[in-house]
Structure 1
Amino acid sequence: MPTPTISPVVLARASAHAALDAGFAKADELGVPFTIAILDGGGNLVAQVRGDGAALASIGTSVAKALTAVHFAQPTQDLQGAVNPGQALFGLGTRDAAYAFVAGGIPITDAAGTVIGAIGAGGGSPEQDHEVAAAALAAIA
């Protein structure tokens, strides 16, 4: 019996692992230990690896950044200003620990522009987190 397709939002394990490899290559280049999380388009974990020496907090923040990128369909660095006082998402970043409005989360889109997942990286500065997530994304695109 063939395995049924459960969701139209599919991110293959092989793609997730290619992204992890590319992200960790960038992390090694930066000399910073990272945790990288890959989620599918439904916000479900496909793969996550905590690199040797990566901060324990990076486990949760990498997932939160990826989830934010999936749910808002934008890189988290582009959403940072939206949680400031007077802005549309003010307070959301403090009320819901599932989201992280800081650089390091990038959505993964298919050829049609549909969000099929996201990458979240944590461990370095926000700029380094974004660099690692972007390197991981490049391995999928």
Structure 2
Amino acid sequence: MNITLSQAENIIAIAQKKSKSIDTKMNIAVVDSGANLVAFVRMDGAWLGSLDISIKKAKTARYFDMNTGIIGSLSQPGGSLYNIEHSNGGLITFPGGVPIKNKNGVIIGAIGVSGSTVENDHAVAEAGAEAL
């Protein structure tokens, strides 16, 4: 199953609303179950450098079907996934990427958010992922 464009646009709208509520400007990416970009928005004034990061966070969350922050904790020196961020053409292993599940709990895509602190990035990504 794949996320639809309509679902992705709704997820981005909810994520933007959360971003505005915490006074941040974000880049927000949604990928489908194959980690292909479905929808993207760069809010006015969001960092240009975070554009690529948001897409890679979404892809990373989908590639491994877990929050990117969890992958980050496993990829520290001595961790079981140490250096994984160098695989798959470059991964992002800090918070802000979250898998998206449908009402049956099946992963149909992922959201990646970047543009603020990792705590804010994760909060906005969670809000978007929970929009379904």
Measured against the shorter chain, the TM-score band is: over 0.9
Secondary structure at the residue paired with 1:70?
Answer: helix
1:90 to 74, 82, 86: 82
Supply the distance in 1 between the matched residues of 2:87 and 2:33 (Cα, whole angstroms): 23
Q: What is the aligned length?
A: 132
Supply the distance in 1 between the matched residues of 2:90 and 2:128 (Cα, whole angstroms): 22
Q: Unaligned regions of 5+ residues in structure 1, if any?
A: 1-8
Q: Which protein shows a greater Rg?
A: 1
Does residue 124 (structure 1) correspond to residue 122 (structure 2)? The answer is no
Supply the distance in 2 between the matched residues of 1:53 and 1:97 (Cα, whole angstroms): 27
Q: Look up the equivalent residue of 2:52 and give its one-letter code.
A: G
Q: Look up the equivalent residue of 1:93 and give its one-letter code.
A: E
Supply the distance in 2 between the matched residues of 1:102 and 1:12 (Cα, whole angstroms): 26
Question: Which residue does the alignment assign to 2:28?
Answer: 36
Please give the TM-score of this superposition, normalised by the length of structure 1: 0.88
Secondary structure at the residue paired with 1:121?
Answer: strand
Contact map agreement 2:100 2:130 (CA 8 A) in 1: no
- Cα RMSD over matched residues? 1.3
Identity in percent: 34
Q: Shift of residue 96 of structure 1?
A: 5.3
Please give the TM-score of this superposition, normalised by the length of structure 2: 0.93
Runs of 4+ in 1 over 4 A off after TM superposition: 94-97
Q: Shift of residue 99 of structure 1?
A: 0.9
Match runs of 1:1-141 below 5 Å: 9-94=1-86, 98-140=90-132
Deviations 1:18-45 (A, max 9, x none): 1011000011111111000000010000
Q: Unaligned regions of 5+ residues in structure 2, if any?
A: none
